[in-house]
Structure 1
Amino acid sequence: GHIFHSYYGPLKTRLFLTIEKVLARLATDRVVVVSEQQRREINEQFGVGRADRFAVIPLGLDTTTFTDWASRGASFRAELAVKPDDILVGIVGRLTEIKNHQLFLRAAAEFKTRFLSATGESVRFVVIGDGALRNELEQQARSLSLVPDITFVGSRRDLENFYPALDIVALTSLNEGTPLTLIEAMANARPVISTAVGGVVDLLGDPISRNSDASFVICERGVSVPANDPSAFAAGLARLVADEQLRREIGVRGLQFVAGHYSTERLVKDIKSLYADLLKRKSISKQASGGKPTFRTAS
């Protein structure tokens, strides 16, 4: 895995980056990345590897888990005492710094203050996931007067139940490769709103329209907002909450996109093609190179 920012200090990051550059140049036949955005970041921004040695292979997901998503979700909403007409906004992921749940809470608080009354909707929030920051985040939620409109439910394994229960899925990460959370949300035809970081840009697709103040962008498969901007996130969320038709259209496009691009069958096919191509190249140049192919992945 390639970790270049947000996890370590400057000195350790520079050390790891130097090692990555050396390995990518001298000991790697292919660098596998999960999105075109990640390829640009690793190769063009950080200068790792040669451009012709990168292979973009998106993640693969067993979407059969969610085939009957439309009939699920009621039990999870009942567990939270969420009414059928309430809008339930959820964020899914481990509670760590890189996921930036602090932004989700600040945006939720600003949404309540600036936009909630204008939408005419009853909106609830849920945090699905656990981690070292849980106590701190729960305290932040209380200080922002989000209680009782927000619930922390901890880690859940019943993805097939909680995703269909959500009306909107949020992601506030500081950095991402290709976030599985957004792919899973799209597989359930859930509209998403996310910070425009890493592979998220490729997932959300092309812009359709911009807000008048350019604080957020409505894309083909979700709403894109700048990183670490609670005001923009709140404004984008308000647009989704107020526009049921937009939510439905984004959800349908996301479902179609995931079905066509993120199946396990496609992943297996891509991996087999990669290995077949490399073995063919090695066979042709075997006597000249005398070595074995090496593979490295980026995530």
Structure 2
Amino acid sequence: MITHIFNSSIVSGPEMLVIPALKKLGEAVSIIFLTETRLPTESARPIEYAMKFGYDVYSVPVNGRWDKTAFLELRNVLDKISPRIIHAHDVKASLYLQQAKRVRPGFKGAIVSTHHGASYRKGKIRLYEEIYVRFVLPSFDKVLCVCELDRKSVIHRGVPEGKVSIHLNGTDRPRVLPEDRNASAATIRKSWKEKMPELPDTDAAVFLGAVARLSPEKRHDRMLKVVASFKKREESGHCKKTVLLCFGEGPEEQKLRQLARTLQLEDRVFFMGYSNTISDEMAGFDALLCLSDGEGIPINLLEAGWAATPVISTRVGGIPDLINSNEAGFLVEKKASDESIAEQMWNMLQNTKQLTSVGQAYQKRVMEFFSHDAWLKKLNEVYATLPGKI
């Protein structure tokens, strides 16, 4: 038995990567969620998501950041399940696993932690991440990082190098064949327009996508400023207008809506809200944007690959592990000015033949190196290094 532990109030990248893939692990899997008592409705979503896959799912209520009662309850659940490996994901789940192990003697099982993105966190979250890396991870049998930059970061901060491995993200989606892509895009855009009638017709604009939580580090504000720059260029020439579809929810939504109004982009920027189907609709975009200040390897970028949708991203975190050449995608520098990024993106988007070529090369790379099978192969290799822990 392998047990995975999450602390989740939304179904995001880690859950969407790990939970479906584990069905093909070849060993029984159970899942434990630390559920925040202050967010009962939100905490129910990941549990419902995992149960759809047929796992044994357990819930441990957590009240606050440091809940000793939850440490004990987590230990009781683990003793009942008696897994040979317990695998925690990110900061809080790993901290609670460490403390559950210390509740009383007799703990059985190897413990593993995956750090889903170390390179950019700010404020209190950065402080918690520092505590996690310096005081929690060294006690684990194995530490997995989703990119080379993160691996170097945790080693630099004191985690023994021999414990740390890279575990590149991977996901599977239906492949969109090159000859089917235009028809797929038209069908998807038609369905979007039914939900948002203000959208332009399927062939009347360049459709850019942003699929991410509306939070500060994702830098949707930069995307809006890029679209504003495009608007000026389009008004002085004869070319299709560019629209940006933002899929996701988050604390920045009202601020971003106001920015769109200020920049007079009401007919170019559309807030589409949360979608549980967007992972299979990436072919609707001419390009997917990721201008974040920091990332691991985002699942939505991998999903774009299966659709042969090219990605334009800042060169941060694990993105260069994914887009390792100009043939596989477009990278811009995080420190570049908004206008400089707009200039580069404009030139990229005007070359439709290059966009198509890059999308196809990107699809080939994702299918070969970032699939569920590649992810599971590496995970099984890691688990095989943990003998004698039953």
- What is the TM-score normalised by the length of structure 1? 0.79
2:288 is the counterpart of 1:169: yes
**Secondary structure class of the residue paired with 2:275:** coil
Whether the 8 Å CA contact 1:98–1:175 is kept in 2: the answer is yes
CA distance in 1 between partners of 2:132 and 2:310 (Å):
39
CA distance in 1 between partners of 2:237 and 2:154 (Å):
43
- Report the equivalent of 1:156: 275
**Cα 1:119/1:21, change in 2 over 3 Å:** farther
2:381 is the counterpart of 1:273: yes
Whether the 8 Å CA contact 1:42–1:48 is kept in 2: the answer is yes
1:226 to 333, 340, 345: 333
CA distance in 2 between partners of 1:237 and 1:116 (Å):
17
Percent identity (aligned): 24
- Report the equivalent of 2:357: 249
Gapped regions of structure 2 (runs ≥ 5): 1-89, 91-114, 194-198
CA distance in 2 between partners of 1:204 and 1:119 (Å):
32
Whether the 8 Å CA contact 2:279–2:300 is kept in 1: the answer is no
**Alpha-carbon distance, 1:112 to partner:** 2.3
**Cα 1:101/1:243, change in 2 over 3 Å:** same
CA distance in 2 between partners of 1:90 and 1:246 (Å):
18
Question: More deviation in 245-254 or 125-134?
Answer: 125-134
- Report the equivalent of 1:214: none
**Secondary structure class of the residue paired with 1:32:** strand
2:313 is the counterpart of 1:191: no
2:54 is the counterpart of 1:54: no
**Secondary structure class of the residue paired with 2:126:** helix
- Report the equivalent of 2:148: 36
- Report the equivalent of 1:289: none
CA distance in 1 between partners of 2:128 and 2:217 (Å):
20
**Cα 1:127/1:136, change in 2 over 3 Å:** same
Whether the 8 Å CA contact 1:185–1:191 is kept in 2: the answer is yes
- CA-atom RMSD, angstroms? 2.4
Q: Deviations over 1:16-44 (max 9, x none)?
A: 4144223333x122210112232123324
CA distance in 2 between partners of 1:119 and 1:21 (Å):
56
**Secondary structure class of the residue paired with 2:240:** coil
CA distance in 2 between partners of 1:165 and 1:156 (Å):
14
2:232 to 109, 113, 117: 113
**Secondary structure class of the residue paired with 2:313:** strand
2:204 is the counterpart of 1:96: no
**Structure with higher RCO (Cα < 8 A, 6+ apart):** 1
**Secondary structure class of the residue paired with 2:386:** helix
Residue type at the aligned position of 2:160: R
- Report the equivalent of 2:123: 8
Residue type at the aligned position of 2:186: A
CA distance in 2 between partners of 1:159 and 1:17 (Å):
33
2:323 to 183, 204, 208: 204
Residue type at the aligned position of 1:88: F
**Secondary structure class of the residue paired with 2:385:** helix
2:371 to 245, 263, 266: 263
- Report the equivalent of 1:140: 259
CA distance in 2 between partners of 1:116 and 1:129 (Å):
29
Whether the 8 Å CA contact 1:192–1:222 is kept in 2: the answer is yes
CA distance in 1 between partners of 2:285 and 2:119 (Å):
33
**Alpha-carbon distance, 1:130 to partner:** 1.6
**Alpha-carbon distance, 1:190 to partner:** 0.7
**Cα 1:43/1:116, change in 2 over 3 Å:** farther
Whether the 8 Å CA contact 2:283–2:309 is kept in 1: the answer is yes
2:173 to 63, 76, 79: 63
- What is the TM-score normalised by the length of structure 2? 0.62
Residue type at the aligned position of 2:288: V
